[in-house]
Structure formats: structure tokens, C-alpha cells
């Protein structure tokens, strides 16, 4: 099932890329379409952040992950590069679980 999902995502993501290079510009280049397309990643990523930090199965729980996310937000506000942000989030959660 996981392999099937990987293949579906692979084929789909490739076709989305190819479509962009192939479709006549006028078909998709409308204000509504481009605005929604700009906002879809924002909505999905925000939801992924929240679920990743707070969901525990079908419950919500505040634990070391939320502290890691807070440190990541501070690092981003200080313009830290991607890898530093990710490592700081992991290190924060790991240290809290040691104590």
C-alpha cells in the first residue's frame, strides 16, 4: 500500500509539472486559479505543522514536540537556515525527553 501511494504521488507530481510546461498559458493563468494555488501550500503546510506538533492518534497533546516547534519558530524569526531550524527542533525535543 505504501509503494502504491509512492507510485501514485510520483506519477501525479510529474504530470503536474509536465502540465505546467505544456498547457496553454491562458487556460490556468486566471487570478482566481493563481490565488488559490498560492494559498493551497499555505493551508496545507500550516495544517501539517499543527497536526505534527499536537496530534497523538486522535487526541491532542502538548509535549516536547510543541517546545521543539517553538524553538524552530524563534530560529526562523532569526533567519536561521533550514537545516539549523530542523536540527534545533529535534535537539529541543530530545533534550526535554532526557529530563
Partner 1 sequence: MTLPPLPSTERAAILRDSLAVGVATGAYGISFGAIGVSSGLSAAQTCALSLLVFTGASQFALVGVIAAGGAPMSGAATALLLGSRNTLYGLRLAPLLGWSGWRRAAAAHLLIDESTAMAVNRDSRPAARTAFLGTGLAVFSLWNLATLGGALAGEALGDPRTYGLDAAVGGAFLALLWPRLGDRLARVVALAAVALALGLVPVTAAGVPVLAAAGVALAAGLMTSRAPGSDASGDSR
Q: At its nearest, how many Å lie between partner 1 and the CB of residue 78?
A: 11
Q: Does 99 bind partner 1 (CB under 8 A)?
A: no
Interaction between residue 74 and partner 1 (CB under 8 A): no
Q: How far apart are CA 32 and CA 98, in angstroms?
A: 49
| 8 touches partner 1 (CB under 8 A) | yes
Write out the binding residues for partner 1, residues 19-48 only, by CB under 8 A.
19-23, 25, 28-29, 31-32, 34-48
User: What is the spatial distance between Cα 18 and Cα 31, in angstroms, rounded to a whole number?
Assistant: 21
Q: What angle do CA 19, 43, 25 make, to 5 degrees?
A: 25
Amino acid at each position: 500500500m505504501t509503494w502504491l501511494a509512492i507510485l501514485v504521488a510520483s506519477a501525479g507530481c510529474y504530470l503536474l509539472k509536465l502540465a505546467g510546461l505544456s498547457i496553454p498559458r491562458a487556460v490556468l493563468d486566471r487570478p482566481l486559479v493563481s490565488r488559490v494555488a498560492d494559498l493551497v501550500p499555505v493551508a496545507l503546510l500550516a495544517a501539517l505543522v499543527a497536526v505534527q506538533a499536537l496530534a497523538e492518534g486522535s487526541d491532542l497533546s502538548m509535549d516536547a514536540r510543541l517546545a521543539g516547534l517553538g524553538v524552530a519558530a524563534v530560529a526562523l524569526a532569526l533567519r536561521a537556515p533550514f537545516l539549523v531550524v530542523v536540527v534545533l527542533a529535534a535537539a529541543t525535543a530530545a533534550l526535554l525527553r532526557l529530563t
